[in-house]
């Protein structure tokens, strides 16, 4: 099973600042089968990034993903008030054993 470890657990930033979220895999994720999701309280997760760096439909370009192998990053270039939420990474390389990271909470400073 591929274990995903996200850091930091909580990130406190202000609107307008840049956010950098990390996701590290216990073994290499081939062909960048890695996704990022955003979840707000009381809502279902929303797909942001797939294939490590491809934005899903309707996702603003302030969201970007990068990385390969075992190290992946989600960057939000300039935080908007609606971006404060919990973010999860997910690998779908070792299907049908899909795993999620434990999440990073992005909170307003």
3-state DSSP assignment of residue 62:
coil
User: Which helix (DSSP H) or strand (DSSP E) does residue 51 occupy?
Assistant: none
46: its two tokens: 């929303």
Residues in the chain, total: 109
Among 35, 74, 79, 106, binds other proteins (CB under 8 A): 35
Site for other proteins in 50-89 (CB under 8 A): 50-51, 56-57, 88
Q: Binding to other proteins by residue 103, rule CB under 8 A?
A: yes
Q: Binding to other proteins by residue 90, rule CB under 8 A?
A: yes
Q: Binding to other proteins by residue 98, rule CB under 8 A?
A: yes
> What does residue 83 show for φ and ψ, rounded to 5 degrees?
-85, -10
**Between 35 and 74, CB nearer to other proteins:** 35
48: its two tokens: 């942001």
Binding-site size, other proteins (CB under 8 A): 25
**Between 2 and 79, CB nearer to other proteins:** 2
Q: Which residues contact 15 (CB under 8 A, 6 or more apart)?
A: 79, 80, 81, 108
Q: Which residues bind other proteins (CB under 8 A)?
A: 33, 35, 37, 39, 44-47, 50-51, 56-57, 88, 90, 92-93, 95-103
């Amino acid at each position: 099973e591929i274990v995903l470890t996200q850091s930091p657990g909580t990130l406190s930033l202000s609107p307008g600042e840049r956010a950098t979220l990390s996701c590290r895999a216990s073994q290499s994720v081939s062909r960048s089968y890695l996704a990022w999701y955003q979840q707000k309280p009381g809502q279902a997760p929303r797909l942001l990034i797939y294939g490590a760096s491809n934005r899903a439909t309707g996702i603003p370009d302030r969201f970007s993903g990068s990385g390969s192998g075992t190290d992946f990053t989600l960057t939000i270039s300039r935080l908007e008030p609606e971006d404060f939420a919990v973010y999860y990474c997910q690998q779908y390389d070792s299907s049908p054993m899909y795993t999620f990271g434990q999440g990073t909470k992005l909170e307003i400073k």
